[in-house]
Amino acid sequence: MSLPERHILSKSTFMYGNQCLKRLWLHKFNPSERDEEEAVQTALFQSGTDVGLLAQKRFYGGIDASPVDAFHYQQSVYDTAMLIARGAKVIYEAAFQFNGVLAAMDIMVKRKDKWYAYEVKSSTGVKEPYLQDAALQYHVITNSGIELEDIFILHLNNKYIRKGDLDLQQLFTPTSVIEDVKMRQEGISSKILELKNMLKTKELPNIEIGPHCNIPYACDFKGYCGGGSIAEILDYGQSIIDKEAINDFVQTLKYPLYFLDFETWITPVPEQDGQWPYRQMPFQFSLHIQNSVDSEVTHKEYLAESKESDLLIFVETLLESLGNEGSIVVYNKAFENTRLRELKEQFPLYESAISALQERLVDLMSPFRKKHYYLPEMEGSYSIKQVLPALIPELSYDNLLIGDGGEASSVFYNLNKNQDSDTILEIRTALLEYCQLDTLAMVKILEKLKSLN
Ligand code: SF4
């Protein structure tokens, strides 16, 4: 057997073409026009890799057929064929090629002479694009002469709560998708033909930006196609200020007022006891307090030493800071409420105290979500990042070192990793400033609502 010729389509280029012919064309013939990758995306890609390695450990004793780099997949195809011929029972990163289409499979397992394929995903369930991927993999593998008894998406199990060492059997859930991918086989064959024909003509497809640019994934050629102007063509409508409804909301608030915001970190794989995949782990809160209508606002805050810090300290500091009465004003109540419920389940000792906090929560987002107060500057959104500059332009996130919750989460997660004490101090200060602005923003937004009546 010799190495096959270089492939024309791979799983990812097939996916690009399936989303948009122009995306595939640009990827192949004009890749330098791609938008710059954001740091957050890189971090997500890296966490996906870790999950892949853990999944391999779940299938003990496999042989890795992955290529030395993306230009040597044909060697992988060759190695995989050799491993199968020599009776390998578990292969990691097995590669197959049929009719110019390459597909790698994360894990192939042979049991009682039958092959089972596992595609690893770091999500907690099966999503539509995974089924498209699996259908292409099935097409290539079975046409390469390997009969598949079953094909699974091996995803994370969000019901698994870590206690002690990671339990890899529990951490992952295999979901069979073979019936679904079999039904898609006809469509796969015709799509492959269409994509190959388009690539042969080398003509740039004439496709305008539209909703397809974000489905199933955000395209990374939006800059080239003018995706930045998608927002400009939208009409953000008229101002709405329903003073009566806003006043009704303001009247529900009971002093002292506590303006509260949590920050959380998150990882696919639980790192400590009590954590499950993608559990939002609270590490910081900011609290502005106003005792009566006319009194000055005071501030309290908590920031954990590190992600290993005991969550119990967070809970106890929070309970001490929030007193026994008065509204707890948050922006997007579902978030803080869910975190409190999770903490309550983890620390039953504080069940009734945390329940009492939940009963005091008031959602400042509510008048904006219900469109009792809307300005075109909010650009159709009721997120605090849009509402704040529309209502209080002088208060802005623009000059902060940390500009959003995702960034706060990521810098905290990496805090203390090879950083000197000055850097750590600088980051901690930036985290405190960011979270403080979130609750100060709420204070100012409420003042604005009150001033309308
Ligand atoms: S931005 Fe939209 S139109 Fe342009 S290549 Fe991407 S998906 Fe296609």
Q: What is the pLDDT of residues 305-344, one digit of tens each?
A: 999 999 999 999 999 999 999 999 999 999 999 999 999 9
11-229 folds as Lambda Exonuclease; Chain A (3.90.320)
pLDDT digits over 100-124, tens only? 999 999 999 999 999 999 999 999 9
Distance CA 293, CA 432 (A): 26
* H/E stretch holding 120: strand 114-120
pLDDT digits over 239-252, tens only? 999 999 999 999 99
Supply the pLDDT for residue 403: 82
Going from the Cα of 206 to the center of ligand 1, the distance in angstroms, rounded, reads 10
Residue nearest ligand 1's atom 1 by CA: 222
The winner for highest mean pLDDT among 43-52, 202-211, 369-378 is 369-378
- For residue 38, pLDDT over 70 is answered with no
Going from the Cα of 208 to the center of ligand 1, the distance in angstroms, rounded, reads 7
| Closest residue by Cα to residue 54 from 132, 169, 146 | 169
- Residues 360/326, Cβ–Cβ less than 8 Å: yes
Going from the Cα of 21 to the center of ligand 1, the distance in angstroms, rounded, reads 8
- Residues 158/271, Cβ–Cβ less than 8 Å: no
Q: Decide: helix, strand or coil at residue 141.
A: helix
Supply the pLDDT for residue 418: 78
DSSP H helical segments within 125-174, as ranges?
Answer: 128-143, 168-171
Going from the Cα of 15 to the center of ligand 1, the distance in angstroms, rounded, reads 13
Q: What is the largest CA-CA distance in the chain?
A: 84
Residue nearest ligand 1's atom 7 by CA: 213
Distance CA 159, CA 102 (A): 35
CA angle 365, 293, 247 (to 5 degrees): 45
Ligand 1 atom nearest the C-alpha of 220 is 6
Going from the Cα of 10 to the center of ligand 1, the distance in angstroms, rounded, reads 19
User: Which of 20, 27, 217 maximizes ligand 1 atoms within 8 Å of its Cβ, making it the mutation to test the pocket?
Assistant: 20
Q: Decide: helix, strand or coil at residue 200.
A: helix
Residue 40 pLDDT level (bands cut at 50, 70, 90):
very low
- For residue 230, pLDDT over 50 is answered with no
Mean pLDDT of the chain: 92
Residue 449 pLDDT level (bands cut at 50, 70, 90):
very high
Distance CA 149, CA 95 (A): 18
- For residue 409, pLDDT over 50 is answered with yes
Q: What percent of the chain has pLDDT over 70?
A: 95
Cis peptide before 389 (omega within 30 of 0): no
- For residue 67, pLDDT over 90 is answered with yes
- Which DSSP letter does residue 255 get? S
| Closest residue by Cα to residue 260 from 282, 275, 239 | 282
- Residues 138/182, Cβ–Cβ less than 8 Å: yes
The order of strands in the sheet holding 172-176 is: 63-64, 90-98, 101-111, 114-120, 148-156, 172-176
Residue type at 324 in one-letter notation: N
* Domain locations in the chain as residue ranges: 11-229, 240-451
Whole-number Cα distances in Å, 294 to 289, 290, 432, 441: 12, 8, 26, 18
Residue 233's φ and ψ, nearest 5 degrees, are -85, -5
- Section 129-146 average pLDDT: 97
- For residue 207, pLDDT over 60 is answered with yes
Distance CA 201, CA 208 (A): 19
- For residue 300, pLDDT over 50 is answered with yes
Supply the pLDDT for residue 170: 97
User: Which of 212, 229, 230 maximizes ligand 1 atoms within 8 Å of its Cβ, making it the mutation to test the pocket?
Assistant: 212
Residue nearest ligand 1's atom 5 by CA: 23
- Residues 273/292, Cβ–Cβ less than 8 Å: no
Contacts of 75 (CB under 8 A, 6+ apart): 3, 67, 68
Tokens matching residue 46: 């890296």
Least confident of 85-99, 389-403, 433-447: 389-403
Ligand 1 atom nearest the C-alpha of 219 is 6
Residue 401 pLDDT level (bands cut at 50, 70, 90):
confident
- Residues 51/40, Cβ–Cβ less than 8 Å: no
- Residues 9/17, Cβ–Cβ less than 8 Å: yes
Supply the pLDDT for residue 234: 58
User: Which of 27, 35, 225 maximizes ligand 1 atoms within 8 Å of its Cβ, making it the mutation to test the pocket?
Assistant: 225
Supply the pLDDT for residue 227: 58
Give pTM, 2 decimals. Answer: 0.85
CA atoms within 13 A on the CB side of 3: 10
Pocket residues: Cβ below 6 A from ligand 1: 19-20, 22-23, 26, 207, 209, 212-213, 219, 221-222, 225, 227
* Class of CATH domain 240-451: alpha beta
Residue nearest ligand 1's atom 2 by CA: 213
Going from the Cα of 378 to the center of ligand 1, the distance in angstroms, rounded, reads 26
